[in-house]
């Protein structure tokens, strides 16, 4: 039902195959974020056409609306949404700490008020496992505490220890054999805390591991210092997931350090705000220079948007507030991310990932003026 194998290497970069009850995922892989059970602005058919393999859904949001029991009644996430491929759900912890009002953390769990209607809720490792069981994703996450990037060391140390205790309770409460439960390594930017967390979480024997607590306000140098230190401390034969990261450049850098799975809201959120990721850097569709530009967003991209829409048309739709603008630009950005990961995997299998990474990083570093064809 489940398996993971590394089928190719290029330096520390790995090409793998993750098999789940709802299909296989070729890694490294990017998971589009479908917070409330849908990726914003695009349909399931569009995701399939883009080649999305696995979607991420959010435990906190689905618990609050429409409710995890309702989702379970309607066949879990797969029956409820119609997506036939694998799902991953996060534990809900990050959203509780970042969104919920008046939260109160204790060793048992977290009490908080909904950011939607102010109703009171309680989330514990056991409740997180129950919700994720109801949602029925293939890959689920242990309940963890993610402290802010600027938190003092004492707070990070306490959160790290609590995450280990909660991981053990999540493991004990996990019941479904058709769900793989991942453990999460915390520790902020403190390498000794990362050491302790990695050792404790690995000792619990999860089938997959995530590096959490990054992209929460720390510097890029600190992010990669932590990943450099932590990834080698995770088992070679298990999938590794870098949570919430990031830009195309970040994904290339993560793959170079042996990471297999990524998720981030950037391609969808930035699309709705008029920013496109292209093979020659980022492009702001709002720029006046696109008013009469007949070219596609990225001449090197074969997505539906680049085949059918000009920069001038996209700019018009965006400035006019047309919903179609968000759809077309989201299709492009997700296609760019997914295609990048396919090319990454191909180059790992060819044994030339570092050459490919260098070429792509140089191209992505091009100025916006170059991406937009000059002033």
In this prediction, residue 369 carries a pLDDT of 55
User: How many Cβ atoms from other residues are within 10 Å of residue 375's Cβ?
Assistant: 6
In this prediction, residue 375 carries a pLDDT of 37
In this prediction, residue 373 carries a pLDDT of 61
* Cβ(25)–Cβ(17) below 8 Å: yes
CA distance 36 to 15: 30
CA distance 38 to 10: 34
Taking the whole predicted model, whether its pTM rises above 0.95 is answered as: yes
Peptide bond into 117 cis (omega under 30): no
Please say if 107 is a catalytic residue.
Answer: no
Going by C-alpha positions, the residue among 214, 159, 156 that lies closest to residue 190 is: 156
Q: What is the mean pLDDT of each run of 10 residues along the chain (375 residues)?
A: 97 98 98 97 98 97 97 98 98 83 90 91 97 98 93 96 98 98 98 98 98 94 98 98 96 98 98 97 97 98 98 98 98 98 98 98 77 56
CA distance from start to end of the chain:
54
Residue among 68, 90, 293, 339 flagged as catalytic: 90
Q: What contacts 352, CB < 8 A, 6 or more positions away?
A: 10
Going by C-alpha positions, the residue among 236, 234, 227 that lies closest to residue 254 is: 227
Going by C-alpha positions, the residue among 140, 93, 100, 143 that lies closest to residue 119 is: 100
In this prediction, residue 7 carries a pLDDT of 98
CA distance 103 to 8: 45
In this prediction, residue 93 carries a pLDDT of 85
* Helix, strand, coil % over all residues of the chain, rounded to 5: 45, 20, 35
Please say if 293 is a catalytic residue.
Answer: no
Residue among 263, 293, 298, 339 flagged as catalytic: 263
């Amino acid at each position: 039902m489940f398996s993971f194998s590394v089928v190719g290497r290029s330096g520390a970069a790995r090409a793998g195959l993750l098999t789940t009850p709802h299909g296989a995922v070729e890694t490294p892989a990017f998971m589009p974020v479908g917070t409330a059970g849908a990726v914003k602005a695009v349909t399931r058919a569009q995701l399939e056409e883009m080649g999305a393999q696995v979607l991420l859904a959010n435990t906190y949001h689905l618990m609050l609306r429409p409710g995890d029991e309702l989702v379970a009644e309607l066949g879990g996430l797969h029956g409820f949404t119609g997506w036939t491929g694998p799902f991953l759900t996060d534990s809900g912890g990050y959203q509780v700490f970042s969104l919920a009002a008046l939260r109160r953390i204790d060793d048992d769990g977290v009490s908080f008020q909904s950011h939607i209607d102010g109703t009171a809720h309680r989330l514990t490792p056991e409740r997180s496992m129950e919700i994720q069981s109801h949602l029925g994703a293939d890959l689920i996450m242990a309940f963890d505490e993610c402290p802010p990037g600027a938190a003092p060391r004492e707070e990070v140390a306490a959160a790290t220890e609590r995450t280990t205790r909660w991981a053990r309770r999540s493991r004990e409460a996990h019941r479904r054999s058709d769900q793989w439960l991942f453990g999460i390594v915390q520790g902020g930017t403190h390498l000794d805390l990362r050491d302790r967390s990695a050792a404790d979480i690995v000792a619990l024997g999860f089938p997959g591991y995530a590096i959490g607590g990054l992209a929460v306000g720390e510097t890029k140098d600190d992010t990669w210092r932590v990943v450099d230190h932590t990834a080698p401390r995770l088992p070679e034969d298990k999938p590794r997931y870098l949570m919430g990261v990031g830009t195309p450049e970040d994904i290339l850098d993560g793959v170079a350090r042996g990471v297999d799975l990524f998720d981030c809201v950037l391609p969808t959120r930035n699309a709705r705000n008029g920013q496109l990721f292209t093979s020659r850097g980022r492009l702001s569709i709002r720029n006046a220079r696109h008013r009469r530009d007949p070219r596609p967003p990225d001449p090197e991209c074969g997505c539906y948007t680049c085949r059918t829409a000009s920069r001038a048309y996209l700019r018009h739709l965006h400035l006019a507030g047309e919903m179609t603008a968000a759809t077309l630009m989201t299709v492009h950005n997700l296609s760019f991310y997914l295609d990048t990961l396919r090319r990454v995997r191909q180059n790992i299998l060819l044994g030339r990932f570092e050459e490919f990474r260098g070429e792509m990083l140089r191209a992505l570093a091009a100025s916006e003026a170059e991406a937009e064809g000059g002033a």
